[in-house]
Amino acid sequence: MMTVVFTVYFFLIGMLVTSFTNVVGLRVPVGESIVRPRSHCPNCGHVLGPLELTPVIGYLVLRGKCRTCQLPISIKYPALELLGGILYAYAFYQFGWSMQFILSILLTSLLSILVMSDLAYMLIPNKILLFFLPISLIVRYLSPLENWYNPIIGGFVGFFLLFVIFLASRQGMGAGDVKLFGVLGIFLGPLHVVIALFVSAFVGSIIGLGLLGFKRVERKQPIPFVPSIAVGTLLTYYFADDWVKLYLDLFL
């Protein structure tokens, strides 16, 4: 019973935190403060009140438009907030009160910030990675560990794997992706960070083909890759052990 109560609680917390990480993802890449000015309509400057700031509910109450000037509000914001809520709830449901839970919501929020910033500016800000790098290491070392070297080796594997691809591809892959996979390697460890790369590339190609198919993008137009990385990373984080086990059962 208490598990249900806390799962719902962390669903709400996840939506609140994600409405904050949306602001971080929009403001940090362009050098703006994350506390001032208060959230406002980019068109008419109308400052959002408490109800309008409420995750998801605000969007529904406003029916997706600014109260003053009717400028449409992007569906990205409530969609990410809802997803953040679901992921926080799922992390608690999976791990309960544990460092593993803290690690999971940390990963979720890192990815939410970067998805927002990538969708808005096609950028992965160094500031965000440098902020999460030491925290991820500390929380990883406070969590149950397979062995002491997995987070560190994971970071190096993620970084250098992407660095080689970066050199080979010349374009399509940004330096930000290389550094991001370094940080993801700390969260995932060396085996899972490699799996995460393959899953991300797979998700990315499906999204790319989908967008081309629906004529939402032109061929050659760069598509933000971080949303695919986020999906690939979280799928790997939660399910890769099951995949590896299934694979071993089937083939060995």
**Number of residues near Zn ion (by CB under 5 A):** 8
User: Which amino acid type is present at position 70?
Assistant: Q
Name residue 65's beta-bridge partners.
72
Cα distance between the two ends of the chain: 41
Q: Which stretch binds Zn ion (CB under 5 A): 18-26, 59-67, 135-143, 225-233?
A: 59-67
- Separation CA 112–CA 159 (nearest Å): 20
Smallest separation (angstroms) from Zn ion to the CB of 67: 7
Q: Which of 176, 181, 137 is nearest to 157 (CA)?
A: 181
Which of 7, 16, 46, 165 lies at the binding interface for Zn ion (CB under 5 A)? 46
DSSP per-residue codes, 18-67: HHHHHHHHHHGGGT--SSSSPPB-TTT-PBP-HHHHSTTHHHHHTTTB-T
Q: Smallest gap, in angstroms, from Cβ of residue 235 to Zn ion?
A: 37
Q: If binding is defined by CB under 5 A, does position 52 make contact with Zn ion? A: no
The CB-of-199 to Zn ion minimum distance in angstroms stands at 39
Binding letters toward Zn ion, positions 66-105, x by CB under 5 A: x-xx-x----------------------------------
Query: Which residues make up the interface to Zn ion (CB under 5 A)?
Result: 41, 43-44, 46, 66, 68-69, 71
